[in-house]
Structure formats: C-alpha cells, structure tokens
Amino acid sequence: MSYKNVIAILGLSVLGFDSTLGWAQQPGSAPKDKSGAPGRGMMGGQMMAQHQEMSQLMAKMMQSMTAINTEKDPAKLKGLLA
C-alpha cells in the first residue's frame, strides 16, 4: 500500500471520528437526570460543593494575605506568618 493511500485512510478516519465526537457533544445528547436538567447529576452537585469549598478557602487565604501585607510591626508579623 502506498503512503498516499495510508494518509488518505487516516485522514478519513480522523474526520469520521471527529464528526462522531461533535455529534456526541451536542447539548441535546446529554443524559438527563430525574429532574430533567442535563448534566446535573451527582457529579454536578459534587463539583458545585467542591467549588463552594474552594471559594471559601480562597477567601480565608486572601484575608490572611491582606493582614500580612498591611502589618508593619515585625513581632506581630512573625506571629501571623506562624
């Protein structure tokens, strides 16, 4: 088999695979849970909870960093860094 035939077959395979993935990712093809909302199953709720927890931790970190940046007294700064 020549290289041109191999390249043509690979190209057609990639196009077929790509079009199949594109069809599978359309919004109407997403599985629905009991509430009828697409993509809001157990994983969606778990991701939302993790996102909320991460947001809270980031807010606490930003408060700590602000306190460290505004503190001028070296003794108090040492305590904040500990």
Interval 11-65: pLDDT, tens: 777 767 666 666 566 665 555 555 545 555 667 788 888 999 999 999 999 998 8
Look at residue 12 and tell me if it is in a domain.
Answer: no
Q: CB under 8 Å to 33, separation ≥6 — which residues?
A: 40, 41
Any domain includes 11: no
Q: Output the CA torsion 22→26→32→36 (10° steps).
A: 180
- Is the pLDDT at 4 greater than 60, yes or no? yes
> Does residue 49 sit within a domain?
yes
- Per-residue pLDDT at 55: 92
Q: Per-residue pLDDT tens for 51-82?
A: 999 999 999 999 988 888 888 888 887 887 77
Domain that holds residue 69: 45-82
- 16 found inside a domain: no
Is 2 domain-assigned?
no
Task: Tell whether 50 is covered by a domain.
Answer: yes
pTM for the predicted model, two decimal places: 0.42
6: which strand partners?
none
Give me the number of domains the chain comprises.
1
Whether 77 is in a domain gets the answer yes
Q: What is the pLDDT of residue 39?
A: 54
